[in-house]
Chains A and B, each alone.
Chain A
C-alpha cells in the first residue's frame, strides 16, 4: 500500500520525500482539526458538570 504510493510519486527521491512529508502534514492537520475532536466527543461525557 505505502510501497505502491511511493512508486506512484513522481520525481527523484528528494522530491518524493518532500511530497510524503507534505502529505503527512496535511493528514496530521486534518486529524487534529476535525477527526480527534469528533472522536473525543464520542468517548462519553467528561464535562465535570452535575445534572440529572
Chain B
C-alpha cells in the first residue's frame, strides 16, 4: 500500500474511477437482463422460429411425396380390392424423415415431419422435424402401435394443444405410400416411466395385437415435465398419395 501512496500521481482529467461496487452492480444488472432475454427466447422467440421452420420443412416434404406420386407411372387402378390392408413401409433408418403428420385440431396449417427415433437434439429439437418415432414401435398402417413423441412446450410448441383433441378428431399421417387416417380415441395421463403405452397393445404385454393403433406422447403440463400426456388413435382408412384428404387439402404444401 505504501508504494501505491508514494507513486507519483499523474494529473487526471475528470476521469471517474471505476469502483468495485459499480462494476458488481453493472454485472448484476447484466445478469438480470440475460435471464429475461433467455426467458423471452425460450418461451416466445425460439418457438416462433422453430415452429415456422418445422412447418416449412413438413410442407416441402409433403408436397414432394405428392409430386413424386403424380410423376410416377400410374399403376393400373382398381386392381386392389377396396378392403385391402394398407401398405406398410420398411423400417426407416435412424433420423430418416419418413412421414408427415397433420392434426387439424392443433391449427388449420399444423403439420410436422416425423423422423425415426425420438432423439432430442436430432429429431425433436430439429428445425426440419419436431416429431419422433419410437424406433421399436410399429409403422403407419401396421397392426400394433405406431408410437410418436413431440415436445409440448418449447422448441416449436409441437403438441402444446394436444389436450384439446376431441373424440373422433382425425389425424392424418402421410408417407411416400399415401395417407393413413387415424381417429382420436382417448387420453391417458401417465408417469414418464410408463413405457407400456408404447406396446403393440398398450399396457397389455401378453396380448396379441389385432388393431392398428397410433400413440402420441408429449409432456404434461406445459412448461413442466412432470407427467406425460398420451393420446391414443385408431386407424380408419388409407388413401393413395394423390388423394389428399379433403379436410386438410387446403393445408397441404402451405407454409413452404
Contact = CB atoms under 8 A, between A and B. Distances in A.
A46 B154 contact: yes
Name the residue in A2, A39, A47, A48 with the highest tally of chain B Cβ atoms < 10 Å from its Cβ.
A48
A1 interface: yes
Contact of A50 (B37, B152, B154, B217): B217
B228 interface: yes
A36 B45 CA distance: 11
Contacts of A41: 121
Contacts of A13: none
Nearest to A7: B15
Interface stretch (B74-82, B95-103, B186-194): B186-194
Interface residues of A, number: 20
Interface residues of B, number: 41
A3 B41 CA distance: 28
Interface string B123-161: 010000000101000000000000001111111001100
Contact of A48 (B152, B193, B194): B152
A29 to B, nearest CB: 12
A26 interface: no
Secondary structure class of chain B's binding surface, majority of residues: mixed
A47 B120 contact: yes
Contact of B193 (A31, A46, A47, A51): A51
A28 B190 CA distance: 39
Contacts of B151: 46-48
Interface string A31-52: 1100010011100111111111
A4 interface: yes
B163 interface: no
A2 B53 CA distance: 37
A49 B22 contact: no
B27 interface: yes
B225 interface: yes
B190 A50 contact: yes
B194 A50 contact: yes
30 contacts: A1-B22, A1-B27, A2-B26, A3-B18, A4-B18, A28-B37, A36-B37, A36-B41, A39-B38, A41-B121, A45-B225, A46-B225, A47-B120, A47-B124, A47-B219, A48-B124, A48-B149, A48-B150, A48-B151, A48-B158, A48-B159, A48-B218, A48-B228, A49-B118, A49-B124, A49-B217, A50-B194, A50-B217, A51-B193, A51-B195
Given A1-B23, A46-B225, A50-B149, 18 more contacts: A1-B27, A3-B16, A31-B41, A32-B46, A36-B37, A36-B46, A41-B121, A46-B152, A47-B149, A47-B219, A48-B150, A48-B158, A48-B217, A48-B219, A49-B118, A49-B124, A50-B217, A51-B195
Interface of A: 1-4, 28, 31-32, 36, 39-41, 44-52
